[in-house]
Chains A and B, each alone.
Chain A
Amino acid sequence: MNDWLVVVVIGLGTYAMRLSFIGLLGTRPMPIWAQRPLRFVAPAVLAALVVPAVTLSDGAMDVTPLGNPRFLAAVAAALVAWRLKNVAGVIVVGMGLLWALQALG
């Protein structure tokens, strides 16, 4: 399937989910069994995106500071995210540390 078609299908599916209760199902409340899993979508999905991206280097796990500087940079960025709650700060610290470690390596 071509990439454009993939994007269109995702767009239609996303719109359908946004529209679901507002447009079609009226005011019927969402059943609890459906609400529970949705609460964990954000932490599970985001961690599944982040962990492999910062612990793998050329397809193999490597968390040494010079072998894979992305891991240490990500740990520092996570601390910034926790203490400061500021997206721009997380990016500045993470990218800055990555560049510093790459310059050393």
Chain B
Amino acid sequence: MLVEMALAAIRTSALTKDYRAGRGLFDLDLQVSSQEAFGYLGPNGSGKTTTIRLLMGMIRPTRGSAYVFGLDCIRDSAQVKRRVGYLPGDVPQFGSLHGGEIVAYLGGMRGGVDQRHVRAIAERFDLDLNRPFREYSSGNKQKLAILLAFMHQPDLLILDEPTSGLDPLNQQEFYNLLRERQKAGATIFLSSHVLSEVEHVCDRVGILRSGRLVHVHAVDMAETEPSLEEVFLSFFAEPRPKALPP
């Protein structure tokens, strides 16, 4: 058990955040191994962001526990974040600060950021860091968020819908960056709405429905097994109105 905990990049046990009225996350038992890319799928309000915020120690669980590299996500929060790169679902607003200032600010708080690595990522995404944040398009804001998550070459990347707002070319660049990081030994925990994206990037995919993990799907399965899309639709395909009312 102790060996398992040490090996697991992420481990949760009966992790619950109850917002009442059936909203939140309930009894999540999950284990993500080191160097694994784990996708997290589910419709809006299914509990993806809640899981991510619990792992990041932003919110406290109602019950249960969560560990990252064997460290308690609440008690050892600062140590956990030393090894984690985080991309939130909503890009924060930095007002009139320039992109380069934001990177320096958060890099200074974090410490140990290699400036050559920062420059390399910014050039790959053609992200001009001399512009004020308020002048960035939504795509450029997302690129900056990616840079902030990757800049310290973390052991674990926790990414909440990382490609939203990115054009297809930059999406491809992001996937390449993700693969490089995984090859370098990082673990990836990625939430998304896009089936093809998680199928393309991840080794395993967890499917959430109404705050509960209902299925974990291994992506590299034999062709005779149902595809991720078939599995996903089996949980969510419900009859919907065919047309809007007049």
Q: Do A and B interact with each other, yes or no?
A: no
Using a CB–CB distance below 8 Å, which chain B residues touch chain A? none
